[in-house]
């Protein structure tokens, strides 16, 4: 069974409260989503493997380290894009793939419209990024798209999750660890996370 990590950090909690506030404007919302993406990345990268690397400092030879695995960030469009800059600031050499999915507002079923990945993604650690893990349908479908292409070293990185979403993801992909900034109570009858932060894509991009 996969691991579920809800990150406990004062800065993450502070910024999560900003984005939950319906009175937060779009500029601060976008900036905070991105910054939380960076803070989460700092926390989840603690167990990234490193290999030795020797460099010459201006003074002498130094035994250092570099990350052992390439990293690919795969945001689920659209809302996942909001977290990418913050993650990329932490891991600037990471490559970026994209999966386009939207949730049918009535059936809540995910529909795929786009998928494009770097050529060396199979040898990389892949961070699937989407702020909202609601029913879990979109995250699960995105991970299935990757696995259908032979990509298996995957972690899910989100902002707000629900017990329903975690259950679905763990059932469908027991090998994919889940990292969240917050675990919320439940989904309402329209499929919104409670208390959540509303429609993340709409708040990021000013649609609606
Ligand atoms: C939102 C969100 C997730 C999905 C989560 O996307 O960004 O991708 O819903 O819901 P689920 O866990 O029930 O599948 P949405 O479909 O609103 O598309 P958007 O990002 O383009 O706004
Ligand atoms: N997608 C969102 O953007 N918000 C929710 O609460 C659920 C799904």
Delineate the domains of the chain, giving CATH numbers in brackets: 4-205 (3.40.50.2020)
Q: Which of 30, 41, 103, 162 is labelled catalytic?
A: 103
Q: What is the mean pLDDT of residues 157-182?
A: 98
Residue 191 CB: number of other CB atoms within 10 A?
16
- The set of protein residues with a Cβ atom below 6 angstroms from ligand 1 is 76-79, 101-103, 108, 110, 130-139, 165, 191, 199-201
Between CA 139 and CA 110 the distance in angstroms is 9
Strands 177-183 and 4-6: parallel
pLDDT band at 208 (very low <50, low <70, confident <90, very high): confident
Q: In what helix (H) or strand (E) does residue 205 lie, and over which residues does it extend?
A: helix 200-205
Q: Is 113 helix (H, G, I), strand (E, B) or coil?
A: strand
The answer, yes or no, to whether residue 200 has pLDDT greater than 90, is: yes
ipTM over 0.85: yes
Model-level pTM greater than 0.90? Answer: yes
Q: Which residues line ligand 2 (CB under 6 A)?
A: 79, 132, 134, 191-193, 196, 199-201
CA distance 12 to 179: 13
Q: What are 17-32's pLDDT values in tens digits?
A: 999 999 999 999 999 9
Question: pLDDT tens across 61-99, in order?
Answer: 999 999 999 999 999 999 999 999 999 999 999 999 999
- The per-residue pLDDT for range 132-152, each reduced to its tens digit, is 999 999 999 999 999 999 999
Residue 149 among known ligand-binding residues: no
For residues 42 and 90, the answer to whether their CB atoms sit within 8 Å is: yes
With the most atoms of ligand 1 within 8 angstroms of its CB, the residue from 201, 203, 204, 208 to mutate is: 201
Query: Does the pLDDT at position 45 exceed 90?
Result: yes
Q: Closest Cα to residue 80, out of 46, 55, 115? A: 115
- Which candidate, 57, 189, 207, 88, places its Cα nearest to that of 134? 189
> Element (H or E) spanning 89, and its range?
helix 81-90
**Does the pLDDT of residue 108 top 90, yes or no?**
no
Q: How far apart, in whole angstroms, are the C-alpha atoms of residue 208 and residue 203?
A: 8
Relative to the CA of 192, which ligand 2 atom is closest?
A: 6
Token duo for residue 106: 């009535």
């Amino acid at each position: 069974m996969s691991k579920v990590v809800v990150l406990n950090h004062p800065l993450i909690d502070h910024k999560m409260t900003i984005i939950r506030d319906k009175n937060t404007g779009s500029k601060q919302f976008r900036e905070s989503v991105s910054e939380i993406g960076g803070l989460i990345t700092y926390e989840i990268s603690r167990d990234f493997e490193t290999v030795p690397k020797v460099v010459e400092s201006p003074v002498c030879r130094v035994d250092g380290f570099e990350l052992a695995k390439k990293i690919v960030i795969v945001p689920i469009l659209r809302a996942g894009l909001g977290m990418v800059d913050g993650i990329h600031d932490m891991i600037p050499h990471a490559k970026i793939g994209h999966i386009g999915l939207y949730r049918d507002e009535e059936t809540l079923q995910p529909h795929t419209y786009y998928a494009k990945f770097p050529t060396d993604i199979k040898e990389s650690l892949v961070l699937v990024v989407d702020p909202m893990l609601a029913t879990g349908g979109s995250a699960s479908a995105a991970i299935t798209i990757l696995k259908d292409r032979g990509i298996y070293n995957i972690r899910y990185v989100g902002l707000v999750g629900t017990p329903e979403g975690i259950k679905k993801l763990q059932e469908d992909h027991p090998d994919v660890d889940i990292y969240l900034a917050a675990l919320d109570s439940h989904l309402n009858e329209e499929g919104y996370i409670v208390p959540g932060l509303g429609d993340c894509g709409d708040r990021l991009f000013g649609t609606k």
